Chains A and B, each alone.
Chain A
Amino acid sequence: MSWLLRRLYRWKLRAYPRAFRARYGDEMETVFEENWRDLVHAGGGTRLGRARRAVLLTVKEILEVPGSVRRARRTAREEVRQKRPFGGGAAPGSGPRGGHGGVAVDAWLADLRHAVRLLVRSPRYALAVVLTLGAGFGANTTVFSLVDGLLLAPLPYPEAGRIVRLEETRPNMWSTLSPGQLTLSSFTRWRAATRMLGQMAIYAGRSVTLTGVDEPVRLAGAMVSPALFPLLGAEPLYGRTFSEAEEREGSGDVVILSEGTWKRLFAGDTNVLGTTAILDEQPHVVIGVMPSSFDFPRPDVDFWVPFTLAAPTTGGPARSTFDLWIEAVARLGPGVSIEQAEAEANALMREAYGTGDARERTVHLVPLGSRAAERVRPALLMLAGAVGFVLVIACANVAGLALARSAARSRDTAIRAALGAGRRRIVRPILLESTLLALMAAPVGLLLAAWSLRWLRAFGAELTPHLNRVSLDLRVLAVTAAVSLGVGLLSGLAPAAGSARLDIERCLRGGGPSLGRWRASSGAALRRPLAVVAVALAIVLLAGAGLLMNSFVRLVRLDYGYDPDHLLTLQLHLPDSTYREDAERLRLLDGLVEAARRLPEVIEASAASALPSFDATTHVSVTVDGSPRDTGDPVELRIVDPAYFPTVGLRRLAGRLPDPGMPADGDPVVVLNESAARLLVGREDPVGARVSFLRYRRAEVIGLVADTARAGTGTDAEPEAYVLYSQMPSSMARSLLRTPRLILRTVGNPLALTGNLRDLVARADPNIAVSGLLSLRSRLDSTIAAPRMYALIVTAFAGFATLLATLGVYAIVAHAVVRRTHELGVRRALGAGRRSLLTTVLAEGLRLAAVGLLVGLPGAWVLSGFLRGLLYGVKPGDPATFGAVGLLCAAVMLAASWLPARRALRVDPVEALRAE
């Protein structure tokens, strides 16, 4: 708040002469701050009273600018003149020129005073305009800040434009499972041979259990190449970053902590440098602390350890079948373009791996940050479009208000014209007035934007990880100022043009401009198209909001293929030293599941390698016996215990499900979901088919279960194979058994059991770290936070737009009733029925609504195509949504016309005629 005020005040100071500013600027700022604090904050009284004082003080500080600037200038000029009394012709010579300028400036000031006086006399009008425009500016500034911070602003690294991501594609399906990544083998070869790239670094997520503190804690960090820190220009807060030598395997375990972790777990003690932290039971020497501003690769990263590589193999083409997909970044060498570096790399790849067959590798260089920006771009552009519409509607409304006002003032204007005021003197106060109002609306908008950004930062963390980069900055301020000036002039143009063309004689002779022929009056002719534009744009926004809401509701009510409510989930992290063998891990897991099952309120409990609807991250190649194809298909492997199916509530479609009594050494069995069955067997019922995993582990398909929907994005189900823990080959089970998940189905609120469950695990083994103790429903909800946010924002915009459009229509109809009082009275006197009068007035508003609908609905239909990527389960041109929007809009417009129409019915013919 205070920084915003200060910034605004400095902006005001710029209006004053430089010397004046240098002499008094700081002082003035202090006085203003003290005054503000005493008056607004320390003043006591109600919140409303404080707000009133704040507004009054702001208005005073704005309105005094022209006068005090003029005075400061005059004093400064005289001071200069006094300092050189014999300064030759300069002083007298400046007289006439200054005088001439003075007249022009005085005329401007007089007009400004006139404009201010007019506004002060109609505070309700001023308030309506300032609030309307302020809300429009606020929404625009918010969205522009988002676009600026997330799409336009460079990343916070030196020469960030020279940093690229390295990506690889291969003509096999594994590559599509790792979009935007690179294989480790390509990286090492590339790095050894490149001349075009500077530093190159790889990184991957890594989470560990930190022990030796109160209780075991899970930390989420990253393994990174030592080159990453210099590549990104990052300096540690304390200590050092990794040395090149620390990349080699076995070169000593070191760790760098994030500032947050250091403060949270090590009490911000600098003595921690050089001490040992136990990560996954391995001692790591703490060598540095990174400042919180360094948030690569994720904002919530807790620590960094070196990405260790085996000693480099030299010579001969790499033939390893097992390769790691990782993230990689690099800095372009001096003067090297992305295309050059890419050409070099692809030549290297062809040389090393050959061409033509399935081994072909293609690499791409992509500017860092473009991937992240790509994900939010459609949503941000949609918001920018929506908010632009809101601003246009706000302007149309304000212009409509200004037109009505200038029509009401036409007699006044005519008198001024008759007294000899030139066209310029007539038009200028009107333009000045609207500009003034727009300028007053700008701070209101900035305040609104500051508040909504704070709100977004609090609630929109899931929207995008980089919201902390978004702030109101000087550029945003400049854009708001420019927009407000433009809007001021625009909204003033229509009434100004109308006033300049005013028929003086008729205005002075009649009571107002063309009584009885109101439609011909300058105001009304323009106000109707403005209202139609507002209605049409509001319909576009309503349609967009309707589609997004519809889509969001579908996501909320998504049929996941099982029952996601009343499920409590958590992940266990078993230390290797205690649990060396799979058998020991299985024994612990069985014991925990059995104990959990006996907890009160627990219906069923099970263990699994992954949660339903969430990525299992384990894909294996599966082949079907007797299939003519020799390459396998990637299928997501889910390791479960037999209780998994009843716990989760997965629907069985065919065959049978494994039962607890199934012997561990019996024939291996597998359960497929529909997608896997379609992919592998190509028919509905795969029961009885025999498949092999990774070519050697054979199993019989005993059952078919329903597909489970993926969380959040509404993407299609993946092919999945369920295999029992007890039957897994130990090489694969080991890694999955280290971090199993427990899933509990409860009677009531699952979160009520978290304490019990923690105790249960701690009693079994206090060295086991527990993470992700959440209900499955809350996990699913957090994945649809972004669609919810978009739907809410656009709905808020649409609601505001509809309100404005309705007010516009209401104003026009109400105005028409007032103007036609005489006519209505005559018709009443001549025996016109209520129905006929009602229809006449209603038609006034409904015609506007009809034209608005005719323009708006097709427009919305066309524009809704842009929403395609943001919708789930709804087509952009969804007829139900459009029908509802049309009906809603018609109903609202009818209501807006109904209120003034009822007033028309109460017109007393005698009164109306007497007024003539």
Chain B
Amino acid sequence: MQDPERLLPLTPLSFYILLAVARRQLHGYAILHEVEEASGGAVRPGTGTLYAAIHRLQADGLLEEAEPPEGRVTDARRHYYRITELGSQVAGAEAKRLRNAVGLATSRRLLSAEAPGSSRRGRR
């Protein structure tokens, strides 16, 4: 089994994808939706970017294809994905890393405790 730490840090997109499929298997469009929603609209990948990331996650063994949920009639072009064991570990490790970063930011008064916000995508 690979060392989860080795794959850190995850890109925000990969992280949000793993978060999206953490609970149940989802198809591509649902992932796109969840990523947008979970990130509050900050991460809005195009289809190419989304699938390049899915490709990457599959290659690294963090994501795998899954059967459609039971009782769901679906067309053949639609594929479902779910998180792997390794994926859960890596996502957990990434979350831990982010929590440390948040803690640091709070202690340096960059962040008031009640309003967590995304600090990504700063403009130069």
Residues of A within 8 A of B (CB): 12, 16, 20, 23-24, 26-32, 34-35, 60-61, 63-65, 67-69, 71-72, 75-76, 78-79, 82
B79 surroundings in chain A (CB, below 8 A): 27
List 7 A-B pairs, minimum CB-CB distance, nearest first.
A68-B48, A64-B46, A71-B52, A68-B52, A31-B28, A26-B77, A24-B51
Contact at A64–B49, with CB atoms within 8 Å? yes
Determine how close the nearest CB of chain A comes to the CB of B62; give it in whole angstroms: 12
Partner of A31, one of B29, B44, B56, B59: B29
Residues of B within 8 A of A (CB): 28-29, 32, 44-56, 59, 75, 77-79
A32 surroundings in chain B (CB, below 8 A): 47
A34 surroundings in chain B (CB, below 8 A): 29
Partner of A68, one of B44, B49, B59: B49
A20 surroundings in chain B (CB, below 8 A): 51-52, 55
A32 to B29, CA, bound (A): 8
Determine how close the nearest CB of chain B comes to the CB of A37; give it in whole angstroms: 10
30 residue pairs bridging A and B, Cβ less than 8 Å apart? A20-B51, A20-B52, A24-B51, A24-B55, A27-B51, A27-B79, A28-B28, A28-B51, A31-B29, A31-B32, A32-B47, A60-B46, A61-B46, A64-B46, A67-B49, A68-B46, A68-B49, A68-B52, A69-B48, A69-B52, A71-B52, A71-B53, A71-B55, A72-B48, A72-B52, A75-B52, A75-B59, A76-B55, A78-B59, A82-B59
B75 surroundings in chain A (CB, below 8 A): 30
A27 surroundings in chain B (CB, below 8 A): 28, 51, 77-79
Partner of B47, one of A31, A71, A78, A79: A31
Partner of A28, one of B44, B47, B56: B47
Determine how close the nearest CB of chain B comes to the CB of A861; give it in whole angstroms: 52
Contact at A72–B29, with CB atoms within 8 Å? no
Contact at B55–A30, with CB atoms within 8 Å? no
Contact at B29–A35, with CB atoms within 8 Å? yes
Determine how close the nearest CB of chain A comes to the CB of B110; give it in whole angstroms: 27
Known pairs A27-B28, A27-B79, A28-B28; A61 contacts B56 (CB<8 A): no
A78 surroundings in chain B (CB, below 8 A): 59
A16 surroundings in chain B (CB, below 8 A): 48
- Closest residue of chain B to A30 (Cβ to Cβ) is B77
A12 surroundings in chain B (CB, below 8 A): 48
Determine how close the nearest CB of chain B comes to the CB of A787; give it in whole angstroms: 48
Task: List 20 extra interface pairs beyond A60-B44, A67-B49, A76-B55, CB under 8 A.
Answer: A20-B51, A28-B47, A28-B50, A28-B51, A30-B29, A30-B77, A31-B28, A31-B47, A34-B29, A35-B32, A35-B47, A63-B46, A64-B46, A68-B46, A69-B48, A69-B52, A71-B52, A71-B55, A72-B55, A75-B55
B53 surroundings in chain A (CB, below 8 A): 71
- Closest residue of chain B to A56 (Cβ to Cβ) is B44
A34 to B55, CA, bound (A): 20
- Closest residue of chain A to B51 (Cβ to Cβ) is A24
Determine how close the nearest CB of chain B comes to the CB of A85; give it in whole angstroms: 14
A71 surroundings in chain B (CB, below 8 A): 49, 52-53, 55-56
B48 surroundings in chain A (CB, below 8 A): 12, 16, 28, 61, 64-65, 68-69, 72
Tell me which of A16, A30, A78, A82 has the highest count of chain B C-beta atoms within 10 A of its own C-beta. Answer: A30
Determine how close the nearest CB of chain B comes to the CB of A84; give it in whole angstroms: 15
B49 surroundings in chain A (CB, below 8 A): 64, 67-68, 71
